[in-house]
């Protein structure tokens, strides 16, 4: 069983249909694959799509129909805060949204599907080039 938590970078590429997005889609479409999205990632994607004046409803439908949306709660927020603190020691621009993604992946025991360089040395990450 493959379990992927898809971050904003990967969903944006998927939505655009780029070469990397096609690679993301192929990984997600494999048999025995569970796909998850953190609610903060949903917000990031909608913001980016709106900024690009693209169809936000279509983007929302893409995420919600192709993944299970994982809500943020108190426990996850606590873990994300600790991760954010630790990661910023080495990466000064590691954002809180990335900390939520990493905390969620750890909770779900899943891999993070991303192209975001902030996850380069994170064992849970599968980097798309």
> What is the number of domains present in the chain?
1
Work out the number of other CB atoms within 10 angstroms of the CB of residue 122: 19
Which pLDDT score, from 0 to 100, does residue 29 have?
A: 95
Residue 15 domain boundaries: 2-127
What CATH number has the domain bearing residue 112? Answer: 3.40.50.1010
CB 37 within 8 A of CB 69: yes
Backbone angles phi and psi of 15, in degrees to 5: -60, -40
Decide: pTM greater than 0.85: yes
32 contacts: CB under 8 Å, gap ≥ 6: 1, 2
Q: Using alpha carbons, list the distances in angstroms from residue 119 to 37, 39, 56.
A: 16, 19, 26
52-75 pLDDT, tens per residue? 999 999 999 999 999 999 999 999
């Amino acid at each position: 069983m493959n379990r992927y938590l898809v971050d904003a970078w990967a969903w944006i590429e998927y939505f655009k249909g780029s070469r990397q997005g096609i690679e993301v889609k192929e990984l997600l479409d494999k048999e025995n694959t569970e796909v998850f999205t953190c609610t903060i990632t949903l917000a990031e994607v909608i913001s980016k799509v709106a900024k690009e004046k693209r169809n936000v409803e279509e983007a929302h439908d893409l995420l919600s129909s192709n993944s299970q949306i994982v809500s943020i709660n108190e426990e996850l927020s606590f873990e994300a805060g600790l991760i954010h603190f630790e990661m910023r020691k080495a990466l000064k621009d590691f954002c809180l949204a990335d900390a939520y993604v990493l905390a969620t992946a750890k909770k779900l025991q899943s891999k993070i599907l991303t192209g975001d360089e902030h996850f380069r040395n994170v064992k849970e990450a599968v980097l798309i080039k």
